[in-house]
Structure 1
Amino acid sequence: MTPSDSNPSPLTPSQVDDEEAGMISALRQASSIGVKVLKNEAMKDAPDKDAILVMAFGTTYSETRRKTIEAVEEDIHRLYPDTPIFEAYTSKIIIRRVHLNENILKASPARAFQRLKEEGYTRIAVVALNIIPGIEYDYTCLYAESQLPSFKEIAISTPLIYFQGVKDQRDDIADLLEAMKSQFPELAPGDAILLMAHGTPHPANAYYSVIQDRIGEMGLGPVFVYTVEGRPSLEDMIPRLKENHIRHVTLMPTMLVAGDHANNEMAGDDPDSHKNILIKEGFTVSTYIHGLGENEKVRHLYTARAVETMKALHREN
């Protein structure tokens, strides 16, 4: 029997109501965008005790950690001096390496939420230091949602870029580029900037095409985006550079920290580093080895995400 041949039993009025309620709930959840606010009705009468949890992938590079992740946390602390700030690294490998090399034990999401629970915090503002809403951001959201039974309320920020200026929304991509252009070198004829992003198999990889589109709209000149693990790749960029008669390229990471990707894959001395691949193709190459978190204007965007999340956490229903 095919689905079209089936003849289900008629629903009772109460079953119809339940079905419609389920569909409405699913539609409401599917259409919800921006800061995620999760409420645990079982704890609605619990006292309010707030904390901020900053979640980042992490880095083994202590100097860039201080200038980026910890700098963002300090900026948030200045805005909310009376609200404790906790930190979690989502990469178990980085947690292990930092512990081994520096004898510093960074909290995993599990340890961070357990500590928040043990210390009696009931309302948690999760600030995600991701760039795009890709795999890492999805993981942050899903893990935070799994912890809701232990808390009264959890609010989860959007990543650095999320909204695209649709239907009166802000344009996070344009805001990021406006902040980043303060670190762009002056471009002479024959010069270009290559922005190295991470890339992902997640559909959010499409954000890099939107970034390239905004670069053109904003008239930023020969500035091109490529990715380490997505599209477009560096190999995709080389013909484009030659078509535009580019002779000198500045490589610049579009990542929160200047870690392994920036120091080794982008600017390293190995023959297959991006710098050396471009040199072999006849370009002269400069490198800018600084994470986005070192840019004060970019950090302001992250603190704006924290403010937005705290406001959502405190919003009355």
Structure 2
Amino acid sequence: MTRRTVSVERIPVPDPASGPYAVAAGPDGALWCTLVHTGGIARLTPDGRLDVHRLDSATCGPSVITPGPDGALWFTRYQDHRIGRVTPDGRTTAFSLPTPESGPFGITCASDGALWFTQTRTDRIGRVTVDGRVTEFPLPVTGSFPSAITAGPDGALWFTLNQANAIGRISLDGDIALHPLPTEGTAPVGITCGADGALWFVGIGAGLVGRVTVDGRVTEFALPDRACRPHAITTGPDGTLWFTEWGAGRVGSIGPDGRVEEHDLPVPSSEPHGLAFGPDGALYVALEIGELARLEP
């Protein structure tokens, strides 16, 4: 393991208490960020301009955001149990879900042209079309807390089951398979599709990064600081996996061979959550202290 201090540009959001949470690169060449505590979506342009689009509820809890197939950004509204949509010019809409109090959290775009999302409180995976039609798929477990979700290389959707200590897979027609994790208390959260054709995830409970193949074989890589509480993970342009260490105020990286590097952020208590690579090749990290961090790996 190598510990490094990287050059970080700190970009504050207008309200430090707004809680930047997740980041996604938009089709318009901008970075989009959810503001979980104040009900807003921030847009950061390559020239550094940051605008905030206020949603219809300050307490709706916008959480994870992803580009959709329609040129808009789609996001989950964890607190008021809806799916949101925002266009590049800031027009917003929201779609209600059939199951009350479902707690949608992770969301991703699939090869069928729909958005798929997790429902943390009701053990379901949801699917919403761009015109707002919702289908729900119950999971075969209870109390599993499905969290992040990503499109896999096999055309299926892969997701973490935070409280069931497993990785799930759902096909486009709704067939579900669960893959238990070897380490008890892993509590997986973030998941991404790697450049090697496998799925990579982080275990916030056990301080590890994991890899699961499409046939369900799991490999785990223990992090040097098992208490760092890794939260989100994304794949870089060169195939390196990058992840946030929420409990330690760091950003980590791991190669396909399992070699780990850790990068200190300027503020140790910055609470890094989501992260994404921008069109400029830089890594953007949402810091709950009210900033976006820009790193050039």
Give the TM-score normalised by structure 2: 0.26
Between Structure 1 and Structure 2, the one with more strand by share is: 2
Q: If you compute each CA radius of gyration, which structure gives the higher value, 1 or 2?
A: 1
Give the TM-score normalised by structure 1: 0.25
Between Structure 1 and Structure 2, the one with more helix by share is: 1
